[in-house]
Amino acid sequence: MQVFHDAATRVQCPSIMDWKAAGKPVVGYTCSYTPAEVFHAADILPVRLRGIETEGTEIGDTYFGPFICTFPKCILQLAGKGRFNFLDGAIITPGCDGMRRLDECWRKAGEDYEGIVPDYFYYFDVPHKAEAHGMDWFIDELKLLIKSIEDHFGVEITADKLRSAITEFNKGRRLLKELEDLRAAGIVVVSGADAFAATVAGTVMPREEYTAELRKFVSGIKRRKTSLSEGKARLMVVGSVSDEIDLFELIENTGKAIVVAENLCFGIRYEGNEIPEDGDPVAALASHYMGTSVCPRMFGKYKERLGLLKERIARSKVDGVIMQNIRFCDLHGAENGLFERDLEAVGIPCLRVEREYGPHIDAGRMKLRLNAFLERMTAVGDRPRHRDVAEAVSEPV
Partner 1 sequence: MRPEIKEYNYDWLMGKTLSTAARIPAGTKKETELTYRYIPYFKGAAESFINAGQPGIRFLELLGKYYENLLTARDDGKIIAGTTFCSTPTILYAMDILPVTFEILTAIGCLVWKRGMFDYMDYCCEVGMPETSCSSQRGYLGALLAGLSEDVEFILCDTPGVCDTNANAFAFAAGYLDKPFYQLNYPSVIGDDRSQKYHVDDYREMVRFIEKQSGRKLDYGRLAEVLKEVDAQDAITADIEDMLMMVPTPIPPVFNLILYASRFCFAGHPEYTELLHVMRDSARQRIRDGIPGLSAGEEKLRIFLCYIDHYTVDMNFYDYLEERGIAHTGSILTRNFRDGNKYVEDMPSNAYAIDISSPEAMLDTVAQMNARLPMVRSIRGPYDRPGMWLEESLACARLYQADCIIYNGTPGCRNTWGMVKPFARDMEKHGFPTHIMYDDAFDDRVESWETTKERLDEFFHIRGLL
Partner 2 sequence: MSIVAGCDVGSLTSKAVILKNGRIIGSAILKSKPRPRDSADAAMAGALENAGLLQKEIVYCIGTGYGREKIGFIDEAVSEISCHGKGARWLLPTARTVIDIGGQDCKAMKIDPDGNIERFTTNDKCASGTGRFLEVMARVLGVSMDELGKLTAKATAPITLASTCTVWAQADIIKYLNSGVPIEDIGAGINAAMAARVAILVNSVKPEGDIFMTGGVAKNIGVVSTLEKLIGRRIKKARRADPQIAGAIGAALLSWEKVNGHKKAS
Which spans of this chain sit near partner 2 (rule: CB under 8 A)?
Answer: 327, 344, 352-354, 364-365, 368-369, 371-372, 375-376, 378-382
Using an 8 Å Cβ cutoff, are 39 and 46 in contact?
yes
Q: Which is nearer to partner 2, 158 or 371 (CB)?
A: 371
Residue closer to partner 1, measured from CB, 209 or 354: 354
Binding positions for partner 1, 290-309, rule CB under 8 A: 296-297, 299-300, 302-303
Strand residue runs (E) in the chain: 26-29, 45-48, 89-92, 120-123, 233-239, 257-263, 320-326, 350-355
Q: Kindly give, in sequence order, each residue whose CB lies less than 8 Å from that of residue 295, ignoring residues fewer than 6 positions away.
A: 32, 33, 95, 265, 331
What's the CA gap between 143 and 311, in Å, rounded?
A: 34
CB 337 to partner 2: min, Å: 9
Closest approach, Cβ 317 to partner 2, in A, equals 21
CB 304 → partner 1: shortest distance, Å?
A: 11
Q: Which does 379 bind (CB under 5 to 8 A by kind): partner 2, partner 1, none?
A: partner 2
- DSSP bridge partners of 90: 28, 121
How many residues are listed for the chain in this entry? 397
Q: What is the CA radius of gyration of the chain?
A: 20
* Residue 297 site contact among partner 1, partner 2, none (CB < 5 to 8 Å, cut-off depends on kind): partner 1
Rounded to 5 degrees, φ, ψ at 76 are -65, -35
Q: Label each residue of 12-67 as H, E or C.
A: CCHHHHHHHHCCCCEEEECCCCCCHHHHHCCCCEEEECCCCCCCCCHHHHHHCCCC
Identify what 32 binds: partner 1, partner 2, none; CB under 5 to 8 Å per kind.
Answer: none
State the Cα–Cα distance between residues 387 and 369, nearest whole angstrom.
27
325 binds partner 1 (CB under 8 A): yes
When the beta carbons of 186 and 381 are compared against partner 2, the nearer one is 381
Site string for partner 1, 64-103 (x = CB under 8 A): xxxxx---x---------------------x-xxx-xx-x
DSSP state of 385: P
List the one residue out of 43, 35, 39, 47 whose CA is nearest residue 75. Answer: 47
- Cβ-based nearer residue to partner 2, 144 or 363: 363
State the nearest-atom distance from the C-beta of 256 to partner 2, in Å: 11
Q: Which residues bind partner 1 (CB under 8 A)?
A: 62-68, 72, 94, 96-98, 100-101, 103-105, 107-108, 123, 125, 127-129, 131, 133-134, 137, 140, 296-297, 299-300, 302-303, 325, 327-331, 333-338, 340-341, 354
